[in-house]
Amino acid sequence: MDYLPIFLNLADQPCAVIGGGEVAARKVALLRAAGAKVTVTAPTLCPALAQLAERGEIAHRAEAFSPAALDGAVLVIAATDERAVNAEVSRLARAQRLPVNVVDDPDLCSFIMPAIVDRSPVVIAASTGGASPVLARLLRARLEAAIPAAFGELARLAQRFRARVRERLAAEDRRAFWERVLQGPIAELVFSGRTHDAERALEQALAAAAARQPDPVARGEVYLVGAGPGNPELLTIAALRLMQQADVVLYDNLVSREVLELTRRDAERIYVGKKRADHALRQEQINALMVELAQKGQRVLRLKGGDPYVFGRGGEEIESLAAAGVRFEVVPGVTAASGVAAYAGIPLTHRDYAHSCVFVTGHLKEGVMDLDWHGLARPKQTIVVYMGLLGLEALCRQLIAHGLPEDMPAAVVQQATVPQQRVVTAALRDLAARVAEAGLRPPTLVIVGDVVRLRDKLAWYEAQER
């Protein structure tokens, strides 16, 4: 370990910054965020620092650097564009045993500034020891994506209860108690913005633990999570967090293997997908299974392709959970239509081509596609049809019969957002034949409308693949 990572308490402490440019302004912002009293020494200041000085939020010594600039400081940062000046700042600070950082010059530093993830009071620092600041920033970006913004609120909740837990629980019980709190339903209440409910639940959990009774909060729950259209990079941060903590995963046919691999390694995986005429479980059985597992105390991840509430029967599943008194959480996902729009180069709306967009399901019931054909066949409207491949010929015929031009552009997209993506475009009258010739297979999405004309210009994903 080349550097010892430490966290300094700089609240109301005097700190000296030498230099008045944009780089100095960024360092001043960090020091002020930590509560420091900052004095900037520089003949002139950049606009950001000048405004702070005008408002009295920092002190300004309008002069070139001299040893007096370090008087009384507990920490020094040199951020001028002259290495000789920076070197002199470093020499004098070290002589006074003051911690000193010289921006972008590790050889002159006694400490380095890490990349910071701020979830105050939780603060995480990532450093490469000055070897590669860009790599440190990349590490910070990954940490930012992985750590919920509400982690700070969770820490504050724990802080409020820390003394009470110490008073009421024996030392050997505290660690297990806090692990249950910080990794279970109480933490999820905080992450979903329900801090008041989390505080009440924590009080109940503490009372039960002190009385050696079962935890009233530690009961099963269900996470209904949208897995998106297939590309794992389109998952939300909330989805990834819940995928990593579930005990059991119930997943659909439309959930890609790459997405499924991001669930917890030791979680039980149960396939409950439904294909045409091939249902692993009926919907009623899926509903009952979720309730049964949750009532056994399991954390159940119901992983659904796309978005749970867009032709995913998520509403039906939540009704069953609510009726059984099972706690649940819903995390939306990127629906297939949005994935197609981004990856096939077909925007759903466009000022020149489409002022509205409508989503419908093309699922056949007793061989018939029962849709509001007059409502669909409107000008300047994009039609997105889920599960429309089987009835594609009837779909095109009915749209033409109800007023759409035969040469209206249309597309069928197979496996959108993943490398296996295929797109067939044609006039509405020819679409079914072209799709049959291409041999497209589910999962697919049908898009009808003038926006399809833009595909050749906007298909960035396929251009990258080429």
Q: Which residues are marked as active site?
A: 252, 274
Q: Please, how many CA atoms are within 13 Å of residue 222, restricted to the half-sphere of its CB?
A: 30
Q: Which residues of 397-413 are buried (b: 16+ CB within 10 A; e: fewer)?
A: ebbbeeebeeebbbbbb
AA identity, residue 183? Q
- If we measure between CA atoms, which residue out of 139, 144, 119, 145 comes closest to residue 127? 139
Question: Would you give the DSSP letter of residue 311?
Answer: S
Q: Is residue 160 packed enough to be buried (19+ CB in 10 Å), middle (13-18) or exposed (0-12)?
A: exposed
Residue 174 β-bridge partners: none
Instruction: Round to whole Å and give the CA distance between 111 and 167.
Output: 39
Instruction: Round to whole Å and give the CA distance between 252 and 240.
Output: 17
Provide φ and ψ at 85, rounded to 5°: -65, -45
Q: Is 310 within 8 Å of 359 (Cβ atoms)? A: yes
- Three-state DSSP at 124 gives strand
Provide φ and ψ at 17, rounded to 5°: -120, 125
Q: Is 348 within 8 Å of 337 (Cβ atoms)? A: yes
End-to-end alpha-carbon separation of the chain, Å?
44
Residue 141 β-bridge partners: none
Which pairing describes strands 248-251 and 299-304: parallel, antiparallel, or unpaired? parallel
- If we measure between CA atoms, which residue out of 434, 435, 441 comes closest to residue 420? 441
